[in-house]
Amino acid sequence: MNNPARILVIEDNQTNRELMVYLLTAFGYVSLVAHDGVVGVEIARRELPDLIICDVHLPKRDGYDVVKDLKQDASLHHIPTVAVTAMAMVGDRDRMLAAGFDSYISKPIDPETFVQQVERFLPEEQRIIRTTAQATVSDAEPHSCIPYKTGATILVVDDRLTNIEFVRSALEPLHYRIIAATNVQEAFRLAVSDAPDLIFTDLHMPGLDDDDCSFVRMIRTNQLLKKIPIVILAKNENIGAVVLDLLNHRSSWH
């Protein structure tokens, strides 16, 4: 991928903001952040992002004010803008769409589907997940559709050994080579030494304190490693299909 899409996240809640940025970054998008509506619109004007994700309840100017500003600005009104909201009242949805939001996502966000939910508002050539694993790959007969990348090396990073064993048991029968690490330092060392084709990483790793993104950042800022696709390990019951799909689209990552 030549130029990853740039996605502006306007969200005052630190936990939500960090999770969204973490997920977008892990999938290869470039994130811009704003903590309130005023700064959000400023950054949108300055940076002209490809997509805007906007909390509804924001300090200074709320999500409705923000989307109004965006849609009234001739240089910004084309940018897809998705609301993120904990509101679930019937009238709120209509109000959000009427205000100019292209769509909305409910909080709490689901780490497993968040990126897919937002990236469908990007032009197809800018999407990273492309055809989604869930939608297109049957897991009924995985052996009948083993990709040409059989033998690919997959690095699994998780502090829980049971999760590593789960991935191993799902993927080794498909002839993938699994290497695993239970901490970030070991994971980085393995990434350098073994150059994996794909990395699965747990969302929360011990030893990272408040900076959960640092492993992804270590990979993304390393010249040799930065193009390796990274997948967040949530509860992937369809993990085989996810891997297969990503590896089949490997060429599009370069």
Return the residues of window 170-229 that contact Mn ion according to CB under 5 A: none
Q: CA nearest 232: which of 208, 194, 203, 189?
A: 203
Q: Nearer Cβ to Mn ion, position 57 or 168?
A: 57
Q: Nearer Cβ to Mn ion, position 12 or 112?
A: 12
Return the residues of window 98-137 that contact Mn ion according to CB under 5 A: none
The least distance separating Mn ion from the CB of residue 254, rounded to whole angstroms, comes to 38
Strand partners, 81: 52
**Region near Mn ion per CB under 5 A, out of 49-57, 100-108, 126-134, 200-208:** 49-57
Contact indicator for 2, 9 with CB cutoff of 8 Å: no
**Region near Mn ion per CB under 5 A, out of 31-39, 48-56, 95-103, 175-183:** 48-56
Residue nearest to Mn ion (CB): 57
The least distance separating Mn ion from the CB of residue 253, rounded to whole angstroms, comes to 33
Interface size with Mn ion, residues (CB under 5 A): 3
Q: Nearer Cβ to Mn ion, position 22 or 200?
A: 22
**Region near Mn ion per CB under 5 A, out of 5-13, 22-30, 65-73, 239-247:** 5-13
The least distance separating Mn ion from the CB of residue 12, rounded to whole angstroms, comes to 4
Is 12 among the residues that bind Mn ion (CB under 5 A)?
yes
The least distance separating Mn ion from the CB of residue 66, rounded to whole angstroms, comes to 12
Q: Nearer Cβ to Mn ion, position 57 or 120?
A: 57
Return the residues of window 51-70 that contact Mn ion according to CB under 5 A: 55, 57
Q: How many residues does the chain have?
A: 254
**Region near Mn ion per CB under 5 A, out of 10-18, 64-72, 94-102, 118-126:** 10-18
Q: Which parts of this chain interact with Mn ion (CB under 5 A)?
A: 12, 55, 57
